[in-house]
DNA sequence: CCTACCGATCGGTAGG
DNA sequence: CCTACCGATCGGTAGG
């Protein structure tokens, strides 16, 4: 997700369009968001958007793969940098939590709207997702074999870990109550205690 | 969810329409599903649907409140029938898991598509959801006060518990690997160990 | 980047 | 339950 910058004024027009799209896709869903609404948010006419992007589905494609590629990079990094499997999982979870908080709109869209991708990107995305989960499952199994993790069904554990994180949205709306760091520590405490031996 | 029956032949035409809608809304999303597609699945022309329902949004309304009301009933039941707070939570979680497996389409739609409800049902639904989560949070806090549950942020625990269960969908597609009962026991083991003292 | 516009599809209705 | 149809809105294009 290197494309994301904090200072909005340094964003290219194309990236402004992507940011606004992510915001609207998250709020209303991909199908319920019209190109005219995106254009309104950007401050141009709908026809002008097509000077920066090919079509609506390209916007979704960029958002989804931006997120998916980032998570795959984190997996690659963790695999080589950390030895202990439980530590690998904890590090990945922390990555997931922080990314979901910082890149709230895009994470939400990649998680909930990917089914509206067009072929061949749909198959491509589903494939990448399947591979990511397999690698995550392998980490859990590694932990079970080395007695760091209790004997549970590994795919079920992955399901719980990843879906817990993607549920962060509902907390996000009431962020008065707890800081991002506190949220992270609480989630890690519950989830790691839930799986460890 | 008393409206759901196993024997499809005993379903009224209206309930057939609701079942097929839930299936399509889950697969394609509410906005991407047309009345013509629903009609095709039922085996009639689109115009004929309107003899059984008022409009498209009524279908979503029925599905969402069917699920929400059922969960609220479970909450009421658990509150009066069980004394220990950790047992209450475990019982509720088991209800959630079993319902999500058995009423897969409707649960998924209620969870992911409710934002397309029209007013006043949208506000009504969000309200009911908020109340349910508050009551769930109170159960966690009760457990913390009685030392049955470790000292964590209760809303975060609720977020994890409920979103873990709604993530069951991804398992559902590969049900060859594990039975529903095994899934339930694995989830309970991970989640209850994650929160208990 | 805008004006003007188009073909397709949508939810829904009239009338039988 | 169907045929026929309508007004609105959609994604996208032509041409400047």
Residue nearest to nucleotide C4 (CA to C1'): A47
**Strand D nucleotides, any atom under 7 Å to a protein CB:** 1-4, 9-15
User: What's the rounded Cα separation, in Å, for the pair A143 and A196?
Assistant: 9
Distance between the alpha carbon (CA) of A188 and the C1' atom of D14, Å: 56
Cα–chain center distance at B126: 14
* B187 chain-A contacts, CB cut-off 8 A: 156, 160
- Tell me the per-residue pLDDT of A132-144, one tens digit each, with 9 for 90 and over: 999 999 999 999 9
The confidence score (pLDDT) of residue A172 equals 60
For position A12, what pLDDT does the model report? Answer: 92
List CB contacts of A129: < 8 A, sequence separation 6 or more.
A68, A114
CA dist B128 and B134 (Å) reads: 10
Answer yes or no: do A156 and B178 touch at CB < 8 A.
yes
Average pLDDT, chain A: 91
DSSP letters, B46-66, are HHHHTTT-S-HHHHHHHHHHH
| B160 contacts chain A (CB < 8 A) | yes
Measure A48 CA to D15 C1' (Å): 14
Q: Contact B166/A163, CB-based, under 8 Å?
A: yes
| Residue pLDDT, tens place only, A10-19 | 689 999 999 9
Q: Is any Cβ of chain B less than 8 angstroms from the Cβ of A183? A: yes
Q: Would you tell me which residues 38-97 of chain A have a C-beta closer than 8 angstroms to some C-beta of chain B?
A: none
Query: Chain B contacts of A193, Cβ < 8 Å?
Result: 150, 193-194
Q: Do A187 and B115 touch (CB under 8 A)?
A: no
Q: Which nucleotides of C are covered by protein (CB under 7 A)?
A: 1-4, 9-15
B169 CA → D11 C1’, Å: 32
Cβ <8 Å between A190 and B186: no
Average pLDDT over residues B161-167: 94
Residue B157 binned pLDDT confidence (cut-offs 50, 70, 90): very high
Residues A95-119 as b or e (16 or more Cβ within 10 Å = b) = bbbebbbebbbbbbbbbbbbebbee
pLDDT digits (tens, 9 = 90+) for A94-131: 999 999 999 999 999 999 999 999 999 999 999 999 99
């Amino acid at each position: 997700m290197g494309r994301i910058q904090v200072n909005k004024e340094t964003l290219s027009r194309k990236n402004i369009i992507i940011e606004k799209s992510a915001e609207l896709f998250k709020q209303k869903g991909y199908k319920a968001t019209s190109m005219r609404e995106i254009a309104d948010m950007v401050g141009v006419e709908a026809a002008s958007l097509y000077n920066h992007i090919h079509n609506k589905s390209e916007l979704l494609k960029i958002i989804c793969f931006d997120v998916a590629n980032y998570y795959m990079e984190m997996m690659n990094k963790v695999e080589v940098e950390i030895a202990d499997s439980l530590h690998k999982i904890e590090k990945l979870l922390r990555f997931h939590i922080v990314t979901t908080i910082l890149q709230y709109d895009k994470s939400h869209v990649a998680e909930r709207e990917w089914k509206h991708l067009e072929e061949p990107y749909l198959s491509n995305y589903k494939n990448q997702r399947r591979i990511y989960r397999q690698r995550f499952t392998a980490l859990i199994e590694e932990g079970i074999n080395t007695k760091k993790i209790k004997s549970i069904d590994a795919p079920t554990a992955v399901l719980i870990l990843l879906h817990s994180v993607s549920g962060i949205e509902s907390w996000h709306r009431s962020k008065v109550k707890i800081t991002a760091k506190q949220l992270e520590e609480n989630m890690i405490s519950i989830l790691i205690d839930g799986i460890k031996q």
